[in-house]
Amino acid sequence: MKNTNKITHKQFQINHLSNYQTEIANSWLRNSGINPRNFDTIDSIFIKAQQTAFDLVKHHNNLLTDAQLKKIKLFIQKIQGTSKNKQLKPNFAQSILNMGTKIKRQAHKQQQQARERIQALRTINN
């Protein structure tokens, strides 16, 4: 009788590649501020909001007011708690997304003004 518990070399390669790709995906999710354990259990609007909140704190912290920062940290805290994230309303996530749009618009405006100042200085010096 043949032992059916052994896997073939090809099955081993497939399993190894699958585990490797899963770990890469999980690493990317963590680097984007998303908890891989909650990824398949929460609604996509919360995932987008979680990524936006992480991006705001990491890249646009200087543009956030204390109230906005407090709201973002509260959202991150609630979304990471597996028991609490099922109680969240989509309005809470939408407010984070709206805040992200507002802050990114401000950052873009500041970048444009800085470019215009640099261009003006270049024309003066030439």
The mean predicted confidence, pLDDT, of the chain is 87
Reported confidence tier of residue 108, pLDDT bands at 50, 70, 90: very high
Q: Rounded to a whole number, what is the largest CA-CA distance in the chain?
A: 89
> Which own/partner contact pairs does 101-106 have at CB distance under 8 Å and 24+ positions apart?
103/56, 103/60, 103/63, 103/64, 103/68, 104/60, 106/63
Alpha-carbon span 76 to 70, nearest angstrom: 10
Cα–Cα dist 105/99, whole Å = 10
Average pLDDT score over residue span 48-67: 92
Task: Identify the band that residue 42 occupies on the pLDDT scale cut at 50, 70 and 90.
Answer: confident
**Which pLDDT does position 3 carry in this prediction?**
58
The model's confidence at residue 116, banded by pLDDT at 50, 70 and 90, is: very high
Confidence grade of residue 100 (pLDDT, cut at 50, 70, 90): very high
Answer whether residue 1 is part of any domain. no
Q: Is 49 part of a structural domain of the chain?
A: yes
Residue 104's domain comprises 41-125
pLDDT on residue 77: 85
What's the rounded mean pLDDT across residues 94-122?
93
Asked whether residue 66 is domain-assigned, the answer is yes
pLDDT tens column, 70-97: 999 999 888 877 665 667 788 989 999 9
pLDDT for 7: 85
Residue 12 covered by a domain: no
Residue 3 lies in a domain: no
Would you list the DSSP string of 53-76? HHHHHHH-GGG--HHHHHHHHHHH
Domain membership flag for residue 90: yes
Per the structure, how many domains does the chain have?
Answer: 1
Whether 59 is covered by a domain: the verdict is yes
CA end-to-end distance (rounded Å), the chain: 88
Exposed e or buried b per residue across 80-98, where buried means at least 16 C-beta atoms within 10 angstroms of its C-beta: eeeeebeebeeebbeebee
Q: What's the helix, strand, coil split of the chain in %, to 5?
A: 75, 0, 25
> 37 phi and psi, to 5 degrees?
-70, -30
Residue 5 counted as domain residue = no
39 near 6, Cβ under 8 Å? no
